[in-house]
Structure 1
Amino acid sequence: MFEKRDGEKLLQTDPADMPADGHIVFIGRIASPWTSRQTCPKNMRAAREAGQAATVLIDPAYRDGLLALERASHIVILSWLHHAPRALIVQRPRHAAEPKGVFSLRSPARPNPVGLHIARLMAVDIDNGRIDIDAIDVFDGTPVIDIKPYFASTDAFPEATIAGRDEK
């Protein structure tokens, strides 16, 4: 459970208690060195700075989907942040003076706790369903929803900014 901070708001109904409607399946799990909130990096930059590689383990039924993935230098991993609270709609991050809506944050606490991670692809082993990546910022055992190749030509926007935030 989490502790609500001043200025934070909860939804009237926790999305975790609502009937499923997306038919999302998990295609595998992430093997990472992170087992607690205290040790898990808060973002991919911090994960890379920690110097700990990780592995995405794909379930047998989905392994054929890895064919030709090795062509990509980087991949996008969509994960299900299954330990995150889902009812928190307004949050006050520790580093922020004012509360912010969940959709203006990258926090894992959100109605649908989908994680977005861009990782350097190190190796692919289709037979064993193993994808080695440079780093990850999620707990060991986190479910994987999808994997996509990262295309710098269409996915990167170097001019993108967030007002009032130092991106250094």
Structure 2
Amino acid sequence: MSGRGTLRPGEQRLPAPLVGDVSVSFIGHIESPWSHEDCPKNLGAARARGGAGALHLRPELVPALDGLAPGMAVVLLYWMSDAPRDLLRQAPSHKPEGAGTFALRSPARPNPIGLGVVTITYMDSARGWIQVDAIDAVNGTPLIDIKPFIRGVDNPARGS
């Protein structure tokens, strides 16, 4: 990911920031072992490094956990607030020829929303605390949503 000031060869920035009229309320935050300097690039790397995490929900949202349980896979959406929001094309080290932002999983995007499919390993529903098997977000990252992963619905059709 390029810093805000320097572009790699082949990268392109958005000429002006996008402005919208939608607001998002964070439901809690993510606790992780990661800082900006050592955060894994994806959940596979986080799992390989033993990067379990925890989700801390706002107290008024605790009843929304009803139906979740250890062993379930869930989809997390989180806000990567420090990521650049103006890159249209990127040249990450694993893809030096570059690609458009929407063809990459980089946090640098117009809306820096992270997505991860994780497994719940422990829950304290009374406290609004969920432990997950891995997370690729820095400690303190705002949590947007938790959704159940439904294998028959969330897997793309063959050939897609």
Same fold (TM over 0.5): yes
Counterpart of 1:6 in structure 2 is 9
Read off the aligned partner of 1:45 and give its amino acid letter. Answer: G
The count of aligned residue pairs is 157
Verify: 1:64 aligned to 2:63, yes or no: yes
1:156 positional shift: 2.1
Counterpart of 2:33 in structure 1 is 33
1:71 positional shift: 6.9
Give the SS at the match of 1:145.
strand
Alignment gaps of 5+ in structure 1: 162-168
Counterpart of 1:97 in structure 2 is 96
Counterpart of 1:135 in structure 2 is 134
Give the SS at the match of 1:137.
coil
Any conservation in 1 of the 2:70–2:122 contact (CA below 8 Å)? no
Counterpart of 2:23 in structure 1 is 23
CA-based RMSD? 1.8
Structure 1 CA distance, aligned partners of 2:156 and 2:136?
A: 22
When normalised by structure 1's length, the TM-score is: 0.86
Structure 1 CA distance, aligned partners of 2:127 and 2:23?
A: 26
1:159 positional shift: 4.8
Alignment gaps of 5+ in structure 2: none
Greater Cα offset, 150-159 or 74-83: 150-159
Read off the aligned partner of 2:80 and give its amino acid letter. Answer: L
Structure 2 CA distance, aligned partners of 1:157 and 1:8?
A: 30
When normalised by structure 2's length, the TM-score is: 0.91
Structure 2 CA distance, aligned partners of 1:128 and 1:59?
A: 9
Structure 1 CA distance, aligned partners of 2:38 and 2:126?
A: 32
1:13-47, Cα deviation, whole Å (9 max, x unpaired): 124xx3x42221000000000012x3111100001
Counterpart of 2:120 in structure 1 is 121
1:87 positional shift: 0.6
1:62 positional shift: 1.3
Structure 2 CA distance, aligned partners of 1:22 and 1:118?
A: 25
